[in-house]
Structure 1
Amino acid sequence: MLDKNELTYVATHFDFWDKLNPLEKNIFENNIVKVKYNKGFNLHSSDSECLGVLLIKSGGLRVYILSEDGREVTLYRLSPNDVCVLSASCILNNITFDVHIDAESDTEAYLLNIGAFSRLHSQNVYVENFAYKNTIERFSDVMWAFEQILFLSFDKRLAIFLLDELNKSDSDEITLTQDQIAKYIGSAREVVSRMLKAFQNQGILEQSRGSIRITDKNKLKHLI
């Protein structure tokens, strides 16, 4: 069972908490635990059992789909204080596609197991609304991901991705490999490599093993 401070933190991110009756709060408290996942660990896939709902405390998760030829298409990424509901997709009606969830880095989270969440979801409309609201919000990210793949040229997609990564950090360096970038934007490593080389030739960035340094952010913005 979580201590008082942990429970307070968790309650602020599950906004249905105040709508639970005493019995439901007891179910919640007795079925939520702290979990840790190492970088690269696969939490959820089409072959795994339904996990439950996750609240990320530190680290990050990547939610993606896998094509028949093994290509990964990132749907969205989750950061500290984000809630992951698709890890409990087995109880959400009309969610019929298989998603995979990996730890992007060493991650700590709070997991409300699927049994407890399913029970609360079925008997409390506020829990049900929370689940569907979160899912709808994330599907906005999914639509954005597919819009980029379908309608934007690859140089624009890569430029948008690099700028987003810059905005998450306080430096001009992005510590990602070409393989990682390819997975995040749904492309092949060879395509990423060629475009990064083109950006480098234009004086936009410099590459080193496992990292990219943006040398001209304005030029990068002009590509969008």
Structure 2
Amino acid sequence: MNATVDRSNVLKLYPALAGLPAARLAELIRPEAVMHLPAGTQVFAEHQPCQGFPLLIDGSIKVVKLAASGRELMLYRVAPGGSCIISSSCLLGHSDYNARGIAETPLTLLALPVASFATLMVEHAPFRDFVFHLFADRIGELMQLVEEVAFSRLDQRLAKLILARNADSLSVTHQQLADELGSVREIVSRLLKGFAAQGLVSLAREQLTVTDRAGLQKLAAP
């Protein structure tokens, strides 16, 4: 379903578009370019050509890499005001997606057509800077992920993941945590039971409650 979006909100989230002529901006945020997707929708898939550059207005997208074994590794999340470096790399390199994006929540996004993305990259320096800064930030995050996967213990990474949610009560399954860690549910369940035995968390069906934040922080520390 298409609908209009608030122009001032788009410019607040994406100030790199603020310097565009009014007619050009109106063309980019026309109702046909706005998409509303329910939670769980696959926004893009591996080996699929990129159809445009997404600007997220509301919601959260998780970008994951699927291994041949069927296991997933969560690469990063896209929040409002950000975008997807895999989409930009596919557009710049004229290649297909090499990961997939999934709507974690209901989404509202603005899809810039391929031609508009290419024109903005050439003609509008603030947008070009936005895309390159996006690359720099995401590469830093991915380097940290590589370091954690290669060198950190899984219990340490699990503790950090729980703390990163910034909430004492989490509605999450063991499988979801395993997917984000690139591990398997059985191992994560075993670690969580160990955390519970130490009094760090309490567990219920699809629910995790932090009972000793300081203890988790100590475990998560390098």
Q: What is residue 177 of structure 1 aligned with on the other side?
A: 173
Q: What is residue 100 of structure 1 aligned with on the other side?
A: 100
Alignment of 1:22-101 (within 5 A): 24-30=24-30, 33-93=33-93, 98-101=98-101
Q: By how many angstroms is 1:32 displaced?
A: 6.8
Closer, same or farther in 2 for the Cα pair 1:96/1:140, shift >3 Å? farther
Distance 1:18 1:58 in 2: 19
Q: What is residue 208 of structure 1 aligned with on the other side?
A: 204
Q: What is residue 223 of structure 1 aligned with on the other side?
A: 219
**Equivalent residue pairs, number:** 219
Write the letter of the residue equivalent to 1:147. Answer: E
Q: What SS class does the counterpart of residue 126 from structure 2 fall into?
A: helix
Distance 2:119 2:32 in 1: 13
Distance 1:34 1:143 in 2: 33
Q: By how many angstroms is 1:101 displaced?
A: 0.7
Q: By how many angstroms is 1:65 displaced?
A: 1.5
Distance 2:67 2:96 in 1: 15
Q: By how many angstroms is 1:96 displaced?
A: 8.2
Write the letter of the residue equivalent to 1:150. Answer: A
Q: Which runs of 5+ in 1 are unaligned?
A: none
Q: What SS class does the counterpart of residue 15 from structure 2 fall into?
A: coil
Q: What is residue 126 of structure 1 aligned with on the other side?
A: 126
Distance 1:93 1:129 in 2: 17
Q: What is residue 138 of structure 1 aligned with on the other side?
A: 138
Q: What is residue 15 of structure 1 aligned with on the other side?
A: 15
Q: Does 1:153 align with 2:153?
A: yes
Tell me if structure 2 keeps the 8 A contact 1:122–1:128: yes
Distance 2:153 2:96 in 1: 29
TM-score (norm 2): 0.86
Percent sequence identity is: 26
TM-score (norm 1): 0.85
**Pairwise CA RMSD:** 2.5
Tell me if structure 2 keeps the 8 A contact 1:2–1:29: no
Tell me if structure 1 keeps the 8 A contact 2:41–2:102: yes
Q: What SS class does the counterpart of residue 18 from structure 2 fall into?
A: helix
Distance 2:52 2:23 in 1: 19
Q: By how many angstroms is 1:7 displaced?
A: 1.1
